[in-house]
Structure 1
Amino acid sequence: MNIIASLTNSLTWKGDALAIAVFANPKSPKDAASPEIASETASETATKGFELSDALKKLDMQVLGCTISDLVTEGEFTGDRGASVSGRVGIDFAVRKVILIGLGEPAKASADDWRRAAAIAAKWAHREKIKSLALAFPNYNQDVAVTSQAIVEGILLATHQDKRFKSKDKQPLLLTQVEILETDPNLATPAIAKAKQIIDGVILARELVSAPANVVTPITLADTAQAIAAESEYFTAKILEKADCEALGMGAFLGVAQASELPPKFIHLTYSHGIPKHKLAIVGKGLTFDSGGLNLKTGAGSSIELMKTDMGGSAAALGAAKAIAHLQPKDIEVHFIVAACENMVSGRAMHPGDILTASNGKTIEVNNTDAEGRLTLADALVYADKLGVEAIVDLATLTGACVVALGEDIGGMWANDDAWAEAISEAAKNSGEKFWRMPLEKPYFDQLKSVVADFKNTGSRAGGAITGALFLQQFIDKTPAWAHLDVAGPVWSDRESGYNNAGGTGFAVRTLVNLISAYSA
């Protein structure tokens, strides 16, 4: 798909379809919280529904045959965030079809509204079998680069189709040309390129999560990391085999891996460009399949068929690494770490009640083999903690408890440092991805007390996401700032929503890219 910026305006553009994004009109004083502020004159002139601006009226009358006026009236269009109306313009017009998309109130608008509006336009174009599409969008905060990047991200995310495992593509994407109108190419073109580079990483993460466990294995993740390193002079890849992990005392990680026929792979990707002013580590949970072990996932609601997604944290880490390889931020060093394995059932499987020793010497009583992700992360965090970085963030599809607490669209965040938490929050906000900071409630750690070991790997169901984070914190010793992101809900979707299609979402890639970019500035 060719996406370009153009100084052409909507009055002179010719092609298949035009998408127009507009703000909602100001609310009538009658709708205000304080009725006494409404004057008789204001009431008479207040807008009911959506009123076309002078520029939009001119476009409607001169180019679109008053189609917009009809659509607004018939569709009761308000301009509210995400609202849209569309229709055919008719024959003998420069544009065949048009869609009007709401951005909501200007004061409440964010760049993500542009991203979502662009996604609405792109999905509509796909349904209508449109080949050439023009976008007439206002600039977000008068910033051409931010607007252009958000628009392109929305288009590419919405039109990505993962049909690798389908025998026949019944509805191929016909959209080949998208033009962002009245936009200076000199300002927009670098932003368009940046958006494509970031979404390249998101798509990698999506496809890793969506692929079945007989396609994406620990070996696949290691190969993916090596491929990223091979394409960039600023990346190096180190893959630790089972013997290497044994030498480092990674008893927690290897305890999980020991039942699988596939070998574990401990992945360490390093990005370094220039003289690093900051050193960060990103640790992703890499369970390519989680059967639950001897605490086998069984029965309705166990979601065992979706446990291919249990490497969503590692997919985000590798997706971010791929995007960073393209973007090449300077003066920063970033370590991407994944302890990749399967959690399977066999005669070699770890038992409930087994005691494992992590690489920092701490002992763990395994009271539930289905809480295995935190065991693999334990050794990965110890490894990252020894690298001399200033901050670590781990990402994991760790708990169902987090999904119960925050739903399927919001990730949980725990952090031991307020500044690091704020940096992650800002990076997430700019990406349109949602995290909610949760408490590291230290008294809850009492649930993990063990009679025979330093602690157990699970507590009670109450506060399960919190005790999971507290467990992981035991493996941070030297690094001053650490955060845990539980992404169990948002990495997968059973439905089309916003700019995500059903399947792997690539969640957290854009947050990680923004975070790294902020520290390289």
Structure 2
Amino acid sequence: MSMCPPIANHPRQRSIQPGETMDITFQSQGEFAGEALFFFVFEKEPEKTPGLQTWLAAQGGWLSGNPAVDTFSGKAKSVRYFFPPSGTASPAAILVGLGGRKNFEPRELRRAVASAVGCAMDLRMTEFGLNGQALRDTGLDLPLAVEETTCAAMTSVYRFERLKTEKDEPPSQPPKLRILMDDQIDDQADARLKDRLDKSLATGHGLNLARDLVNMPANLATPEYLAQTARDLAARYGFGVEVMAADQIEALGMGAFAAVFQANRDQARLIILDSRPSVSGLAGQSASIDAEKPLVVIGKGITFDTGGISLKPSQSMEEMKGDMGGAAAVLGFFEAHGRLGQNDGNQRRIVGIIPCTENLPGPKAVKPGDVVTTCSGKTVEIINTDAEGRLLLCDALAYGKRYNPLGIVDLATLTGAMVVSLGPRIAGAFAAPQSLAEQVRRIGERVGEPCWPMPLWEDYKDELKSEVADLKNVGAREGGAIYAALFLQRFVPENTPWIHLDIAGPAFAKKKGDHGIAGGTGFGVRILVELVREWPEES
């Protein structure tokens, strides 16, 4: 996120405290009394920005003709700001570059908004506005521009500082962003814009919840902490919830999941969330034939991963607190889903399945060569205890069958091989049918959570054959992400559409970027919000 140039004697940057967000609403232009206005400028085109030129002409000349305006480069994420003369009843102007006009995409708008908000916060401003004309000037559909602006603004102010004892005094209230609209919008268009604003506010809250969960250290964000988060969501939004401990999980026959938690049974939890609990029973009960078929979303919840007996190297092991990024994304999605209520095409029933534990060594830990029986009845030889995520997920996938689902989506920080294949910012999408992977690729491109379709190649399945069990939990070293997905596919209920998102790279950012600070990104929340809306009804 680009910040403003340094200012002499500038106070330290303020921090947004946990639980805070931005206060974002629409406002008529005549009512705005904030400290700054944002203007977006394409590269080398300040004179071709109608919103900026109209505003300049109305300012009594204090900024018109200023060469610093005319020479503003407009390069992506560049920022230049102007304060009015003393005694002038005018807000400051913050110009933000969009880059080149050709092939302009929503992601460039998100970056520009993050730069603008970052600059205003650096200047210790508390209320700033964005003219609706500035959004139109981007050439994007206005409702889409409103949605992307809101999500970008909310995520750009995110900070995780709740564990610091030395920090700035928190602001007395969250910063305010006002999207300024003219009076020429008809009621129907106005309703569409408000719907988009509500949707993006809900999504932003979900994203930031997921980020909090990933950023929380593992001694605090335990499986029980995730379970309590689910209970809180259920109480707030009327979801059904059930949380099972080790004995109950074993009673379900989840031998693969149990193998991972046997070194620390107290930390095992299986979390079930149901957005429509009145439709059918929860965890221990199969859905009735007449029950509404849900979309099932599954998130891997390894709250800390040492690798178990197959111990990981110590370098960067502290980042393994983020191995529950899939679980965080599912909980963040339920936050967004709950805030949206039954509006905005949000009526579909969703069931979340979140298996949670730590993966630790110890005298009772699972060993390489052990064989376990999954709740599907299939047996698995555990070759590598650091390939534990798929052991949780295989039981969760098989368990999903009892809901007679429309489809299943699972998200997991599953393999380092996926990061080697696609780098740190792109998730791998494995799907059956393959068209689902292409659908998610399009969604991810639109919302800034990039995914790339990956193959489920039949010929590789032989590598998962075991001499002593039905299959083993790892294949060859090369193509490791594909073998992991092929392993999971063996447990997907028959004839059920399924997509597996390996988010090992983008769930955790090692340095600040489009999402703001380093750490958890909330990757997957926006994809789930959109995918739930687009998932087809049963044919």
Shift of 1:444: 2.1
Alignment of 1:220-235 (within 5 A): 220-233=225-238, 235=239
Number of the residue aligned with 1:44: none
Change (3 A) 1:364 1:68: farther
Shift of 1:279: 2.5
Change (3 A) 1:24 1:273: farther
Number of the residue aligned with 1:285: 300
Number of the residue aligned with 1:315: 328
Number of the residue aligned with 2:480: 464
Tell whether the 8 Å contact from 2:27 to 2:178 is kept in structure 1 after alignment. Answer: yes
Shift of 1:157: 0.6
Matching residue's letter, 1:8:
Q
Shift of 1:188: 3.4
- Distance (whole Å) between structure 2 residues aligned to residue 98 and residue 296 of structure 1: 55
Change (3 A) 1:502 1:61: same
Number of the residue aligned with 2:10: none
Match of 2:458 among 419, 430, 442: 442
User: Percent identical across equivalent pairs?
Assistant: 36
Tell whether the 8 Å contact from 1:13 to 1:94 is kept in structure 2 after alignment. Answer: no
- Please give the per-residue CA displacement for 1:452-484, whole angstroms capped at 9, x wherever unaligned: 222221122211111111111111132421111
State which drifts further: 416-425 or 85-94: 85-94
Alignment of 1:382-461 (within 5 A): 382-461=398-477
C-alpha RMSD over aligned residues: 2.6
Change (3 A) 1:256 1:142: closer
Tell whether the 8 Å contact from 2:79 to 2:116 is kept in structure 1 after alignment. Answer: no
Match of 1:167 among 143, 162, 165: 165
Number of the residue aligned with 2:52: 56
- Distance (whole Å) between structure 2 residues aligned to residue 501 and residue 348 of structure 1: 39
Q: Secondary structure at the match of 2:522?
A: coil
Change (3 A) 1:426 1:259: same
- Distance (whole Å) between structure 1 residues aligned to residue 141 and residue 356 of structure 2: 41
Number of the residue aligned with 1:33: none
Moved over 6 A (4+): 273-277
State which drifts further: 101-110 or 411-420: 101-110
Match of 1:18 among 37, 53, 65: 37
Alignment of 1:267-278 (within 5 A): 267-272=271-276
**Can you give the 5+ residue segments of structure 1 that lack an aligned partner in the other structure?**
26-48
Number of the residue aligned with 1:358: 374
Q: Secondary structure at the match of 2:80?
A: strand
- Distance (whole Å) between structure 2 residues aligned to residue 274 and residue 332 of structure 1: 13
Change (3 A) 1:213 1:92: same
Tell whether the 8 Å contact from 2:272 to 2:353 is kept in structure 1 after alignment. Answer: yes
Number of the residue aligned with 2:180: 181
Number of the residue aligned with 2:104: 109
Shift of 1:55: 5.4
Shift of 1:59: 3.2
Query: With structure 2 as the length reference, what TM-score do the two structures score?
Result: 0.84
Number of the residue aligned with 2:270: 266
- Distance (whole Å) between structure 1 residues aligned to residue 217 and residue 481 of structure 2: 26
Tell whether the 8 Å contact from 1:71 to 1:87 is kept in structure 2 after alignment. Answer: no
- Distance (whole Å) between structure 1 residues aligned to residue 198 and residue 456 of structure 2: 40
Tell whether 2:261 aligns with 1:257: yes
State which drifts further: 438-447 or 353-362: 438-447
Shift of 1:246: 1.5
- Distance (whole Å) between structure 1 residues aligned to residue 336 and residue 327 of structure 2: 14
Tell whether the 8 Å contact from 2:397 to 2:493 is kept in structure 1 after alignment. Answer: no
- Please give the per-residue CA displacement for 1:418-443, whole angstroms capped at 9, x wherever unaligned: 33223323332332211011111222
Shift of 1:102: 2.7
Tell whether 2:137 aligns with 1:132: no
Tell whether 2:492 aligns with 1:481: no
- Please give the per-residue CA displacement for 1:126-169, whole angstroms capped at 9, x wherever unaligned: 11111221113223656433222221111111012221111132
- Distance (whole Å) between structure 2 residues aligned to residue 316 and residue 14 of structure 1: 37
State which drifts further: 223-232 or 418-427: 418-427
Tell whether the 8 Å contact from 2:294 to 2:403 is kept in structure 1 after alignment. Answer: no
Shift of 1:343: 0.6
State which drifts further: 100-109 or 379-388: 100-109
Matching residue's letter, 1:387:
Y
Change (3 A) 1:68 1:429: farther
Tell whether the 8 Å contact from 1:282 to 1:394 is kept in structure 2 after alignment. Answer: yes
Number of the residue aligned with 1:120: 115
- How many pairs were matched up? 491
Matching residue's letter, 1:342:
E
- Distance (whole Å) between structure 1 residues aligned to residue 530 and residue 258 of structure 2: 33
Match of 1:305 among 318, 325, 328: 318
Tell whether the 8 Å contact from 1:358 to 1:379 is kept in structure 2 after alignment. Answer: yes
Tell whether the 8 Å contact from 2:135 to 2:142 is kept in structure 1 after alignment. Answer: no
Tell whether 2:81 aligns with 1:65: no
Number of the residue aligned with 1:4: 25
Change (3 A) 1:423 1:74: closer
- Please give the per-residue CA displacement for 1:261-302, whole angstroms capped at 9, x wherever unaligned: 5331111111129998762111100101111101111243xx
Q: Secondary structure at the match of 1:392?
A: strand
Matching residue's letter, 1:322:
E
Matching residue's letter, 1:19:
F
Shift of 1:68: 8.0
Shift of 1:24: 4.0
- Distance (whole Å) between structure 2 residues aligned to residue 15 and residue 331 of structure 1: 38
Change (3 A) 1:55 1:431: closer
State which drifts further: 13-22 or 462-471: 13-22
- Distance (whole Å) between structure 2 residues aligned to residue 342 and residue 89 of structure 1: 56
- Please give the per-residue CA displacement for 1:346-392, whole angstroms capped at 9, x wherever unaligned: 11001111111111121111111111011111101101133211211
Change (3 A) 1:193 1:441: same
State which drifts further: 419-428 or 309-318: 419-428
Tell whether 2:355 aligns with 1:339: yes
- Distance (whole Å) between structure 1 residues aligned to residue 244 and residue 57 of structure 2: 67
Q: Secondary structure at the match of 1:516?
A: helix
